[in-house]
Amino acid sequence: MLERMTTKDPRAAGLARLAGLLADETRAACLLALLDGRAWTAGELARHAGVAPSTLSGHLGKLVAGGLLAEERQGRHRYVRLADARAAQLVEELTARIAPEAHPRPRTLRQAGADSAAARGRTCYDHLAGRLGIAVTDAFTARGLLLRDTGFALTAAGLRWFDALGIGLDRHGRRPLARACLDWTERRPHLAGAAGAALCRHALDVRWCVRIGSGRAVRVTEEGGRALSGLLGIGESALR
């Protein structure tokens, strides 16, 4: 009997390499920490992951070589950050697909408070997430600024909304203007892409939102509450 001829999919090796990069708890912890969109030093990540700096160095080298992280050096310091929005999307969406019962329960009141704050509002790489991100996305949809029929797309009214507020959008870059990103706490998509990033940046610059501590959590200020209510009709309960 003739053996069946098979053709190996050329993407298989790349997928296997990517899966190998993610299949380590220390590297996964680093990727999750870097979802705050900022650059971290190797020492900061080592303390966060609970490993020696020498151990972490090898992990960071693999993540940089694999294209998930980008490296910057300033003097004696080595900084790393997520390579781009696609890397952030991969980590966030894989996290969102973990069963709810697999997410660890907080062991202390402090951790419970931090988790609650992150669920209310946080940054997901460079855009808003949590209940705040969902509320903004729903408000954009309800007001005809965002279409969600076949993926996310800003409408003409949505483009005018950004223009009226003086929020610049990169309309000619490789990054899509609007993209759905699955929210791992809400299990629903929130607004990402160039529009999501521009809105988040503006919200932080004008202090509609401020960061809580050193993590990803953000809270809406009183001024931000008035602005988001007036501009998008978002109720107080969705912002607190």
Strands across the sheet with 40-41, in order?
A: 40-41, 77-82, 69-74
Tell me: pLDDT of 105 over 70.
no
Instruction: Report yes or no on 5 lying in a domain.
Output: no
Tell me: pLDDT of 30 over 60.
yes
Q: Answer with the one of 83, 99, 134 that is the final residue of a domain.
A: 83
The answer to whether the CB of 219 falls within 8 A of the CB of 158 is no
Judgement on whether residues 158 and 230 belong to the same structural domain of the protein: yes
The answer to whether the CB of 141 falls within 8 A of the CB of 193 is no
Total domains in the fold of the chain = 2
Q: Is the dihedral of CA 142, 144, 148, 149 positive or negative?
A: positive
Residue 30 CA to residue 45 CA, distance in Å, equals 6
Instruction: Report yes or no on 50 lying in a domain.
Output: yes
Tell me: pLDDT of 230 over 80.
yes
Q: Answer with the one of 44, 65, 83 that is the final residue of a domain.
A: 83
CATH number at residue 26: 1.10.10.10
Q: Answer with the one of 40, 67, 83 that is the final residue of a domain.
A: 83
Q: Could you tell me the pTM of the whole model? A: 0.74
pLDDT digits (tens, 9 = 90+) for 108-129: 656 556 567 778 889 988 899 9
Nearest partner of 83 among 66, 95, 96, 100, judged by Cα? 66
pLDDT digits (tens, 9 = 90+) for 158-205: 999 999 999 999 888 788 899 998 888 888 899 999 999 999 999 999
